[in-house]
Structure 1
Amino acid sequence: MFQRERFVEHNANALAAGRVAGADAIQQITNRCIRIVNTPDTDVGGCALCRGHGFAKYGFGPRTVIICDQCEKEFHVGCLRDNKMANLKHLPEGKWFCCTDCEQMHSALESYVARRGEKLPDSLMCVIRAKVKEKCSMKVGDLDISWRVLNGKIDSSDESRRLLSKCVSIFHEQFDPITESAAGRDLIPAMVYGKSYKGQEFSGMFSIILVVNQEVVSAGLLRIFGGEVAELPLVATSSDYQGQGYFQSLFDCIERLLASFRVRKLVLPAAEEALSIWTKKFGFAKIVPEELREIRRKYHMMIFQGTSVLQKSVPGLTVD
C-alpha cells in the first residue's frame, strides 16, 4: 500500500492513485489501488453467543457451527439451544436464518433480484440529464436508466452472469486485484459471483448496478448484516461514464435500498486519497478503533490493509 510519499514517487500505481489538480472528485474514489485483505485477528468472529472459536469438525453436536445465510453470524448448535433460539437435531437443508428479521430481509432481497430492474427516481434522473446534456452529445431523451440487484446464487441465468461479468470488469478496471495475503489469489470474482474461498463466504454479497441503455455503467458490492449494519467494500463507475452523475445516483439507490430495510449504518473501506471525498461529499466519518473491533467481533467484514474504515447513518427513506 502507498503509505510513504517517498515510495509513492517511484511507484506507477501509487502515482495513478494520487490526487491530481482539477480531477473529478468522484474519480478519486475509484482510482486504481492495491488492496490486500487483512488477516483476521484471533478475537474476531467466533460464536455470536459465547464468543468461543472452538468447533466440532466431525459429526453433529453442541459444538457444531451453523452460519446464518443473511447476517453470516456463526452460532454453536448448543448455544442456540441454551439460549432458546433453535433446537436443531441436525443441520438443516437449504438456507438457515438466525431470526425472523434475517429471514424477512433475505426474502426481500430475493424479491429485488427477481424484479430484474427498478426505474431510477425522478430526482436522480434530473441530475443525470443535466450532466449528460452538459458533457455528452447524447440526447437526454435517449436515456433508458434503471438500477438492479444481482446475486449469482439466487439467479444464475445467462443474463445475470453476463451482468455480473461486467461488474468484475468494472472493478478490475478501477482497482488492482484484491488479494488474500497468504495465497495472493484475486478475490474480486469470488466476491461478485458469491463463491466461497478458504473459509471466506461471499454468498451474502449482492451486486447493485446502474444500467444505461442496457450497459452496466456503475456497480457496487453490498452485504447487509441484518438491521444494524451493511458494508460496501467496492463501488465504482466505468471510466467511459465518469463525471455524468452515475456514481452518485448508484450510491443514492444503495442508500434508498438500505433505508427501505431499516438498516441503520453503512460501513466501507476508503483509501487515503479518497478520505476527504467520502467524508465531505458523502457524509462518512472514521470509525474509532474500539468501535471497529466490536463490529468485527460480530461481523465478517472485508478489511483491507492501508485503508480506513468509514461509517455513516443511513438517511431515512424519502419518496419523490
Structure 2
Amino acid sequence: MSTLCHEFSKIGFTDQTVILCDQCEKEYHIGCLREHNLANLKKLPKGDWFCRNNCKRINSLLKNLLNREPETLSDDMLMFWREKQRSNKNHNSEADSNIEMKFVLLRGKSAARESRKLLTQTVKIFHEGFDPIIDSTSGRDFIPSMVYGRKIWSQDFAGMLCAMLTIDSKVVTAGTLRVFDEDIAELPIVATRKSNQGKGYFQLLFTCIEKVLSSLKIKKIVLPAADDARSMWTQKFGFELIAPDQLTELRQSCPAIMTFQGTSILQKELAR
C-alpha cells in the first residue's frame, strides 16, 4: 500500500493527525484512514498500532523469533563451509569438527543485559569495516544508533534488528536487518571481523537471514552496495541492480529505507 497523504498536523487529535504503523513505519492521516475504510480511530491508540493484518502478523512472528534461544547451526549447514576450510592448507580441520556456531537475532532497543555485549562487539566490527556514518544534522554516528535501536534526529531505528553469527559467544560476522512489511526487508550494513574475513562466515549468516525472511513470507530484500562490492553481491549472492523507475517507487512507498552516498541499491527476490 502506498502512502495515502503528505500534510501533517501536530496540534491536538484531528483528521490531520499522523499515526505511524509500528511495523512497516508508514505514516497515515487519521482522516485518510477513515476515508479509505482502514481504521476509524477516535484517539491515538495505546501501545503498538498496525495498519494491516500482515503488519500485525509479521510483528508477532518477529517477537517469537526474538524470544527464542540462539540457533546452533546444523551439520548440514556447516558441511559446505567445512569443505571450503579444508582447502586452506593452514587450517586445522580437527578444530572445525568441534566448532559450534550460533545464529543470533536481537533487537537492540529491547535486548537483555547479557546480550548487549554482543551488540558492543557488533559496533566494533562495523567500525573496523566502515568509517563513522555521520548524520549531517546532529553530527552523531548512525552505526551505534542502528545497532542499539535508537532514534537519531528524524531517523528512528527502533525496528532495526541485528543478525549475527557467534563462536564461543564471540561475534564473527553481523548485519543490521529491518523488516518493513511482506513486500520488503533491508540489510543496510554487514561486516565480518577482520581476522575472520575470507572464511565463508558471512555466507552462513546470509543463509540464516534468508531462512528467517522466507519463514516470514517476505518477498524481497534490498541493500546499499558500494561500487567495489556490487559484483560480490550480484555474482555470489544473487542480487541485481534496481531499475531507476523501481527505485523511485521504492523510495516513495518506503522512505525509511537506508541509502548512503556512493552506493547503489540492489535487490533480491526471496524464495518462499
Q: Residues of 2 paired with 1:213 and 1:128: CA distance? A: 18
- Aligned residue number for residue 296 of structure 1: 251
1:153 corresponds in structure 2 to 109
1:206 pairs, out of 140, 146, 161, with 161
Matched residues in 1 for 2:247 and 2:196: separation?
Answer: 34
Offset, 1:309? 0.5
Count of matched residue pairs: 268
How far does the alpha carbon of each residue in 1:259-309 deviate from its partner, in whole angstroms, 9 at most, with x for none? 111111110000010111111111111111111111111111001111111
1:48–1:74 contact (8 Å) kept in structure 2: no
Question: Partner of 1:39 in structure 2?
Answer: none
Q: Could you tell me the percent identity over the aligned residues?
A: 47
Matching residue of 2:183: 228
User: RMSD between aligned alpha carbons?
Assistant: 1.6
1:164-203 equivalence runs, <5 A: 164-203=119-158
Question: Where does residue 5 of structure 2 map in the other structure?
Answer: 51
Aligned with residue 310 of structure 1, among 256, 266, 271: 266
Per-residue displacement from partner, 1:24-75 (whole Å, max 9, x unpaired)?
xxxxxxxxxxxxxxxxxxxxxxx944332x1111211111111111111111
| 1:64–1:77 contact (8 Å) kept in structure 2 | yes
**SS across alignment from 1:71:** coil
Say if 2:240 is the partner of 1:282. no
1:230-264 deviations in whole A, cap 9, x for unaligned?
11001111111112211100011111111111111
Counterpart selection for 2:216 from 261, 267, 283: 261
Distance, in Å, in 2 between the alignment partners of 1:119 and 1:262 is: 22
Q: Greater RCO between the two (CA within 8 Å, min separation 6)?
A: 1
User: C-alpha separation between the residues in 1 aligned to 2:113 and 2:231?
Assistant: 40
Match of 1:12 in 2: none
User: Do 1:190 and 1:202's aligned partners in 2 also have CA atoms closer than 8 Å?
Assistant: yes
- CA distance in 2 between partners of 1:281 and 1:78 (Å): 47
Q: Which residue of 2 aligns with 1:64?
A: 17
Which among 103, 107, 116 is matched to residue 69 of structure 2? 116
Mapped partners of 1:48, 1:57: distance in 2:
22
The one-letter code matched in structure 2 to 1:314 is L
Q: Using the alignment, how far apart are the partners of 1:252 and 1:154 within structure 2?
A: 25
SS at match of 1:153: helix
Q: Which amino acid aligns with 2:101?
A: I
Contact 1:190/1:196, CA 8 A, preserved across alignment: yes
How far apart in 2 are the matches of 1:243 and 1:110? 33
SS of residue paired to 1:70: coil
CA contact (8 A) 1:255 1:314 kept: yes
Structure 1: distance between partners of 2:241 and 2:171: 30
Question: Contact 1:219–1:237 at 8 Å: present in 2 too?
Answer: yes
Shift of 1:124: 2.2
In structure 2, what is the equivalent of residue 33 of structure 1?
A: none
| SS of the residue 1:293 aligns to | helix
How far has the Cα of 1:315 moved from its partner? 2.5
Q: Tell me if the contact between 2:108 and 2:160 (Cα under 8 Å) persists in the aligned partners.
A: no
Q: Tell me, yes or no, if structure 1 residue 239 matches structure 2 residue 173.
A: no
Distance in 2, matches of 1:121 and 1:66, equals 43
For 1:50, the aligned partner's letter is L
Instruction: State the distance in 2 between where 1:292 and 1:49 align.
Output: 16
Q: Which residue identity does 1:151 align to in structure 2?
A: R
The 2-side partners of 1:86 and 1:238 are apart by 47
TM-score (structure 1 length as normaliser): 0.80
Gaps (5+ residues) in structure 2? none
Q: Secondary structure at the match of 2:66?
A: helix
TM-score by length of 2: 0.93
